[in-house]
Chain A
Amino acid sequence: MHRKKLSVQSVVAIGIGTAILFLLKRYVSIPSGIPNTNIDTSYGFLGFISIMFGPIVGLFVGFFGHSLSDFTQFGAPWWTWVFTTGFIGFAIGLLKKYIVLADGKIGFKKLVIYNIYQILINIIGWSLLAPTGDVLIYSEPSNKVYLQGIISSITNSISTGVIGTILLVMYASTKVEKGSLKKE
């Protein structure tokens, strides 16, 4: 089997990305207006960093970041959800080839595609993978876990959508060629 080596930049991106995801997950959530339901800002960042660095970085930033957050908060990770976060990072990262950020342009069309795609991925992840895992491992009643899953799909899509889009647009607009600027 041919295994592609992780570049040093990817290694560092996973490291720093994990640190940020961890921090956001632990400390920065926004009340959604519905009691006991918060919007987890870390998914917006995960969307951004996955588009920046691709699926492998997205996978491990999600996986490591969510594990570390669970370890420090609850003592042990809730593995089904941790793996799902990794899946979200991986799946969104696949879009990197389509949305090339380095050349400084991200048009309306690409943003629409990013958002449709991320909603789809969040639905697959939170309404399907995570709750099915909970049913298999913990034998929890399906109506409970699927309802939780649907709520997470919605809140996490909002985070990935709004925060992710703002970050993408902002990053792309910092990549303007210096030669194109004139003093006025």
Chain B
Amino acid sequence: MTKTMIEFKNVTFRYNAQAEPTLKNINLQINEGEKVLVVGPSGSGKSTLGNLINGVIPENFRGDLSGEIYIDGENAKDMSIFDTSLKVGTLLQNSNDQFVGLTVAEDIAFGMENDCFDNQTMQTKVNQWSKKLSINNLLKQAPNSLSGGQKQRTGLAGLLVDDAPILLLDEPLAALDPMAGSESIQLLQELHNELKNTIIIIEHRLEESLTKDVDKIILMNDGEIVGIYNPAELLKQNILNQYGIREPLYIEALKSIGIDLNKLHDIDSVEAVDGPGVADRIEQVSAKAKSISKYNASADILSIKKLNFAYDKKVIFNNLNVDIQKGDMISLVGKNGVGKTTLSKLIVGFLQPDAGEITFNGDNLLNKSIKERADDIGYIMQDPDKMISKVMIYDEVALGLKLRHYPKEQIKEKVDHALKVCNLYPFRHWPISALSYGQKKRLTIASMLVLSPKLLILDEPTAGQDYYHYTEIMNFLSQLNQEQGLTMIFITHDMHLMAEYSTRTLVIGDQTILRDNTPEKVLDDEALLAKANLKRTSLSILAKRFNVNYNDFSNYLISKERDNQHE
């Protein structure tokens, strides 16, 4: 008989600060050796569920808890957070903040230090697990010289040394680029196959986290469990979009060309999915695809010539040239550390180039201060909290105008307008702390828009957001692009975003622009994708399997999508 590792009986939990319970009457059972995905939109209660499993509630958050929770047979009521942590190893979403040691080795040993292990044992275990996770050559490195993926592996090694029977991972993909994310998911699969431990992954990115060994998917919404499914069952249900979870791209595509999902076999794997008539239908639609002309013949708005830049002695750009036309929606992609953010910082004046020219509408930008450049170019950082410095929403948006000495009435007019455009007008008298992450992001955009910029640069505009908020932000941005002719550059790792929302892709690599082309052409070039650490989308895998041209297939889907939107 299989052993039950986690059991919830009629669990309801309400945070003290909230009027409504965040979790309502949860019943659930997870068996030894199972791998379980917990999916749901932001605010569905999935993180709270995680906090009840690892004991952070009630240790760190006060609230009303009813019902019973058993972890590995013990009643959670009788366990301290320390007891629980020996049963459940938790990998937090932010692997940088979880990294508390000065070096990789010290961080892996952190838990053992607290358990008073002797040095011999600690060294043996650190060596053993760092080798297993291929970070043994990094043991003396400090966290700020590591990539996100390496930090996450360090965190994981620090949990595995405890031999806890359960691993809980809170949004392991949130801080990683797609390649690192996919490696991380693969690593978890290998570990699960070998250690047969119980693994719980909390994620809203279903497609990326769905591997063959997933036994159950728990779908949550509004504090309740909608259902517990096996992967194929859930995909056939056709309910994901309504709960703010993005369907895998290939499923979306198959639905869009009129395939009945119930007739498919191996629906949970893009490598194997097939069914009657699938091949014919894919071939048929690809043949009648119209090419989409996206060539933009407008005048140049930004032009960069012979740009050189190096940090100390590390060359980042060598002779980089690019022209950007008015109205472009550009995706800036490439490996981490290759210089995407650096290029943006050079444009807005946070950094100075070693040589070269940057002109904006014909004017030399390099003579202008950061503040002057901000009049034309809005730069929106990934983390809105790094940009916000006021308490009230209205003041935050008005700040740039006040510091530029606009008259009061004009400020009010401009701020109100920007707030309306960004759907924040009803909240204008609120404190910023009451806004959600997505709203804060829009607030930072609004505070740039008041300065009437001609170009917006957005660093990872949708990172960490669920599908609902992702769509909301991206639709808002494309509307700005179409209605106000605002030129935009996105720094992104998200190939969906690139394919759906941008008209042009710049791949950065080898100290220059590696490729400047349409998103489809970039996605079709496997060698280029590998070089830039980008991941093929499941759509391109599907196209390849059925021997159709990816460009044709995706053009068909995009035109169909646009037709739907126009109706």
Contacts and interface: CB of A to CB of B under 8 A. Distances in A.
State yes or no: do A and B touch (Cβ within 8 Å): yes
Interface of A: 170, 173-179, 181, 183-184
Interface in B493-551: none
Nearest to B427: A183
B67 interface: no
Nearest to B426: A183
Contacts of A183: 426-427
B428 to A, nearest CB: 7
Given A173-B391, A179-B19, 7 more contacts: A170-B391, A173-B431, A174-B432, A175-B433, A178-B434, A184-B428, A184-B429
Interface residues of B, number: 12
Interface in B389-424: 391
A174 B433 contact: yes
19 contacts: A170-B391, A173-B391, A173-B431, A174-B391, A174-B431, A174-B432, A174-B433, A175-B433, A176-B431, A176-B434, A177-B17, A178-B17, A179-B19, A181-B427, A181-B434, A183-B427, A184-B426, A184-B428, A184-B429
A163 B299 CA distance: 48
B430 interface: yes
A183 B429 CA distance: 8
Interface of B: 17, 19, 391, 426-434
A177 B433 CA distance: 10
| Nearest 5 CB-CB pairings of A with B | A183-B426, A174-B433, A173-B391, A176-B431, A178-B434
Contacts of A175: 433
A25 B19 CA distance: 43
Contacts of A184: 426, 428-429
B292 to A, nearest CB: 40
Contacts of A177: 17
A178 B439 CA distance: 15
Contact of A181 (B19, B391, B430): B430
A68 to B, nearest CB: 14
Contacts of A181: 427, 430, 434
Contacts of A174: 391, 431-433
Nearest to A169: B391
A174 B430 CA distance: 10
Nearest to A15: B100
Contacts of B428: 184
A175 B428 CA distance: 17
Contacts of A173: 391, 431
B402 to A, nearest CB: 16
Contacts of B430: 181
A67 B17 CA distance: 40
Nearest to B392: A173
A173 B391 CA distance: 7
Contacts of B19: 179
A179 B15 CA distance: 14
A178 B436 CA distance: 11
A170 B429 CA distance: 15
Nearest to B60: A9
Contacts of B433: 174-176
Nearest to A12: B100
A180 B17 CA distance: 12
A170 B392 CA distance: 10
Contacts of B426: 183-184
A170 B17 CA distance: 21
A183 B391 CA distance: 17
A39 to B, nearest CB: 20
A48 B429 CA distance: 26
Nearest to A174: B433
A130 to B, nearest CB: 32
Contacts of B17: 177-178
A18 to B, nearest CB: 14
Contacts of B432: 174
A174 B392 CA distance: 9
A5 to B, nearest CB: 14
Contacts of B427: 181, 183
A184 B429 CA distance: 8
B275 to A, nearest CB: 48
A174 B395 CA distance: 14
